Amino acid sequence: MNLSNVKLILSREIRDQLRDRRTLFMIFVLPLLLYPLLGMSFFQVSQFMQAQPTSVLIVGAKDLVDLPPLVQNREFARGLFADSSKARLLKLHFAPDEPAGNLNEMPDRCAEARRAVQSGQYDAALYFPDDFANRLEDFRQAIEARAEQGEQSPQQTDPKVSLLVPSPEIIYTTANEKSQVAYSRLSGVLRRWTAEVGKTNLAAGGVPTSAAEPFDVQTADVAGETGYRGAAMWSKILPVLLLIWALTGAFYPAVDLCAGEKERGTLETLLSSPAERSEIVLGKLLTIMLFSMITAVLNLASIGVTGWLVLGDLAEFRAPPAMAVLWLAIALVPISAMFSALCLALAAFARSTKEGQYYLMPLLLVIMPLAILPMAPGVELNLGNSLIPVTGVVLLLRSVLEGGYLQALQFLPGVVAVTLAACLLSIRWAVDQFNSESVLFRESERLEMGLWLRRLVRDRQATPTVAAAVFCGVMILVVRFFMSFALESPEGFGDFAKLAVVTQLAVIATPALLMTIIFTNSPRRTLLLRCPAWRTIPAAVLLAVLLHPVANALQVVITQLYPVSEEVRAALESAEKILRTAPYWKIVLMIAVVPAICEELAFRGFILSGFRHLGHKWRAIVYSALFFGLAHAILQQSLIACLVGLVIGYLAVQSGSLLPGAIFHVLNNSLAVANSRITPEVLDRWPSLGTLASAVDGGGCIYHWPVVGICAFAGLVLLGWFAGLPYPKSAEEQLQEAIDRGLYED
């Protein structure tokens, strides 16, 4: 690589971007104007953010005389509020007293209060039963009598006195937000008033009122001593803002540098220069990274200054820690590199600037959940979360911003490794996009779904296109998602068998088979319905046996990294109880044979064949394995299934047939079912098994690490044998190999 060429391309792209007024406005001007304008708007709309009073209907409070004051001067007693000025937020309306007359003819005042709240006349209502005050007074008198007579129970004072006090009732509606606010305020008032009534009863019984609250809890915030007071708020906000603006700052320059050059007709001139494609990519990548970092820095600085000016007078507001600038700057470099490479690859794929802008939303839909996940309660920095791209970076930044340097140092290697791997893969993808002439010089066209489908049917090939493979995978995932809500949980093995068969046939196999018939003219080639070399069959059997301990160990590791929730664990235990009641051969038929047939036809048949048109067999294997993993509902199962799918896809490609992978699939699931039925009693009857594995509570066994290591080594050797087999290649794979070897001539 010639660095002088990279430098020339970098300077060229920077000059082009500096000449673009839209780019200059988005990067330099908008951050400086946006947040001050938002701060000004904050002051303008702050008057609408003030707490508004809520109307409350009080029914039956006229007899609450000899009790601690609840209502004074037609509002709740100010002593019942932590802040006495909040009393004005509850605007009270009192129901008229009951007229004297026949009790049977009196209206139901509680029902009337309910109707008043339902109609919106009042936000909430507080209803006291008719004899509430009298019964509460009887209760207090019984306590006094007990204290005077020294009896064991208040009931012994007067057997005719019932000490059951009816409860007041707060009437509100969850259909109205203002009513919910009124309920929250009323609950606090009644809670404090109930405590005052309790103190009165204690005094009546001769017990000091301090017995209700014998001590006060003192608090001590040690954050002020460490300089990290208020860091919890900033640790959740700043990393997410850094990611958002780094991504946004990279996207628009990338679209202009790639899709924009296509529209301007200058990309061909650049590609015909002596610079290599990798040098062109690196020059553009550095340019995009530069603008991404500048955008992130300016936006964060503008947010910080505006927040300090707007919120600086608030007592609870604290400036971010001084070290936050350093940690955010360090994290900005790899984050910008990764996002810049992703945006560059997407922009190279776009036919025009308009099309390139459409790709921002799908990219945000992928990145934002990973960035927002650390803000969820209970999500903390651990080994499992540190291995999630983007999420690990946010959690690491949150830890260091809160002063948890020891915890951050412990998981720093994992976060760095995953982030660098993501950067390298993104850059490799961008380079491949620039090396593909079909990507760089795609013709602009209008997408009409009907025309696209008619062309797929009319111009059918032997195997499906990449778009058809993606459509099939997405269709399976969507249908499975909705089916999971439509089907009820099985209550017995019969229901479980019906559910398994319906899911496999209707959700997975049927879409793949229908699309094979509609979109291809050779189902045999699409579904890999060929006879493989006879040696691959026993090799697949042996490989399934060797990799079973490895898959078992990976399942243990994944479960430790990402523990199963209690709800999922309960569902799994319920399914295991159902399966224990059925014969082994029926379970194998439902869990191993049926899924092996249906899933292999879909994922290693139609979907894998479609992805082979990408020109890289490993990309096809990985993408089909990802769809295979996502088809499993539980996260832990999805991760294991994805890894197993890589092996099965490799067998399908190297053998050119679906049969070895299907056999591997059947044996893998069958051995997993057999493993779940191993108990300590079984190991006692077969001592030789005890040298290989140890039983666990609830059924199943864990293989010893030497066994796992030996099986893993032998499995790799066997996979190496598969690698030496000659396999049928697609036309795109043959062309890509010729390009890689420099043998392709235009």
SS3 of the chain: helix, strand, coil, percent, to 5? 70, 5, 25
Q: What pLDDT shows up at residue 641?
A: 93
Rounded Cα gap, residues 281 and 544, in angstroms? 42
Q: What pLDDT shows up at residue 316?
A: 55
Rounded Cα gap, residues 325 and 511, in angstroms? 52
Q: What pLDDT shows up at residue 222?
A: 64
Q: What pLDDT shows up at residue 652?
A: 93
Rounded Cα gap, residues 492 and 499, in angstroms? 11
| pLDDT at residue 603 tops 70 | yes
Strand partners, 71: 76
pLDDT in tens, 387-416: 889 898 988 888 888 877 888 888 989 899
| pLDDT at residue 597 tops 70 | yes
Closest of 665, 615, 664, 658 to residue 526, by C-alpha? 658
The answer to whether the beta carbons of residues 163 and 139 sit under 8 Å apart is yes
Rounded Cα gap, residues 115 and 263, in angstroms? 66
pLDDT in tens, 361-388: 888 888 888 888 888 777 888 888 888 8
Extract the tokens encoding 556: 């243990």
Q: Which residues of 201-240 are buried (b: 16+ CB within 10 A; e: fewer)?
A: bbbbbeeeeeeeeeeeeeeeeeeeeeebeebeebbbebbb
| pLDDT at residue 635 tops 80 | yes
| pLDDT at residue 199 tops 50 | yes
Q: What pLDDT shows up at residue 317?
A: 57
pLDDT in tens, 274-294: 878 788 888 888 999 998 998
pLDDT band at 678 (very low <50, low <70, confident <90, very high): confident
- Looking from the CA of 204 toward its CB, the CA atoms found within 13 Å total 21
The answer to whether the beta carbons of residues 420 and 341 sit under 8 Å apart is no
The single residue listed with the structure tokens 């159902």 is 578
Chain-wide mean pLDDT for the chain?
82
The answer to whether the beta carbons of residues 480 and 503 sit under 8 Å apart is yes
Listed in sequence order, the residues at least 6 apart from 371 whose beta carbon sits closer than 8 Å to its beta carbon are 239, 240, 243, 244, 390, 391, 394
Closest of 58, 60, 88, 70 to residue 192, by C-alpha? 70
User: pTM of the full predicted structure?
Assistant: 0.77
Q: How far, CA to CA in Å, does 105 sit from each of 98, 102, 386, 511?
A: 11, 5, 70, 68
Q: What pLDDT shows up at residue 97?
A: 65
The answer to whether the beta carbons of residues 417 and 388 sit under 8 Å apart is no
| pLDDT at residue 502 tops 60 | yes
pLDDT band at 449 (very low <50, low <70, confident <90, very high): low
β-pair type (71-72, 169-171):
unpaired
| Beta carbons within 10 angstroms of residue 82's beta carbon | 7
pLDDT band at 156 (very low <50, low <70, confident <90, very high): very low
Q: What pLDDT shows up at residue 708?
A: 92
Residue 419 phi, psi dihedral angles, 5° rounding = -65, -45
